[in-house]
Amino acid sequence: MLHILYDLENNLLQLERELHAETYRPGGYTSFYITDPKRRKISAAPFRDRVVHHALMNVIGDIYERQFIHDSYANQIGKGTHRALDRCTHFLRRYEYVLKADVAQFFPSVDHAVLRTILARPLRDERVLRLIDLILASGAGILASEYTPHWHVEDFEAGQGNLFAPLRPRGLPIGNLTSQFWANVLLNELDQYVKRELRCKAYIRYVDDFLLFHDDKRQLHEWKAAISDYLDRLRLTLHPRKSVVFPARLGVDFLGFHNFRTYRRLRKGNARRFMRKLRQLAVAYSAGELPLEKVNQSVQSWVAHASHGDTWRLRQQMFGQVRLAAPP
């Protein structure tokens, strides 16, 4: 990053020339693991590649966003987790049952051929499509260690089967702007199926986590089976353990909160993680390793999130256990 910023104007002009001449090639990723709240492999593209990703999204983003449904909430301006949570509460109050589901190993599972076909539908510029191909190819295999090969029904169909399909390039690096957006483009196919074909009136999706609501639990079980079949066509798999139907009165775990009809609780794991972080911040501040401004920023960010639940007593208790000692 420092290299490109050192001579920013010339480096950007060089990048522009490469894009026009189609000589641009993505660099390698730097990967690392996070384990909070669960183990994930994060892959960061070089800074110049991230500039290209943002430029590409500025050009094509609106083309796809116009197709998105109202209740798709991830990675869009004016949406986000808190609006999704409010919508969840709205539906919990109106319906008797909920189907909570997600896609197993979503980012590692994304089949490049399937995604490329979907991305190409509204685009006519072959140069843009070739750039998309470059970015897709740069992420192939990055998440191979996180993916369990899975065969789908069509792999065994007479005359059309392809037993080598699970070996095709797949995976979207978690960390790319393009990956987050293309996840929405791919799962917009599911959104449209749920709304147009299944005609579900109460549906919410945030990345690969989604909820369906109805007053008849048998209908939800039927929809679950239909969604499983439809995802199979996208070469994705409904998570067998995490996809369940239950009464709405029990509340639903969604986006870090346990959501009920009249209140919302922060999940215990979230509170434990922040408490551990708060103690680390206090130690770093007391040792003179972290300015008070940085501590305050981190605390205020978490409070802004936690305040979307009924957490006043919890916050009072947590902050009462940690004291900031001035550095020497």
DSSP symbols for 236-248: --B-TTT-EEEEG
CA separation for the pair 121, 123 (Å, rounded):
6
120 pLDDT more than 90: yes
CB contact at 8 A, 139 and 29: yes
161 pLDDT more than 60: no
CB contact at 8 A, 89 and 81: no
Phi-psi region of 151 (alpha: psi -120 to 50; beta: other; left: phi over 0): beta
Q: What is the pLDDT of residues 242-298, one digit of tens each?
A: 999 999 999 999 999 999 999 999 988 888 888 999 899 988 888 888 888 898 999
Q: Considering the chain, what percentage of its residues have pLDDT values greater than 90? A: 68
Q: How confident is the model at residue 162 (pLDDT cuts 50, 70, 90)?
A: low
Phi, psi angles (nearest 5°) of residue 121? -55, -50
Q: What is the pLDDT of residues 187-245, one digit of tens each?
A: 999 999 999 999 999 999 999 999 999 999 999 999 999 999 999 999 999 999 999 99
The packing angle between helices 47-65 and 8-21, to 10°, is: 60
Q: How many helices (H) and strands (E) does the chain have?
A: 12, 9
Q: What is the pLDDT of residue 328?
A: 74
Q: What is the pLDDT of residue 206?
A: 97
169 pLDDT more than 80: yes
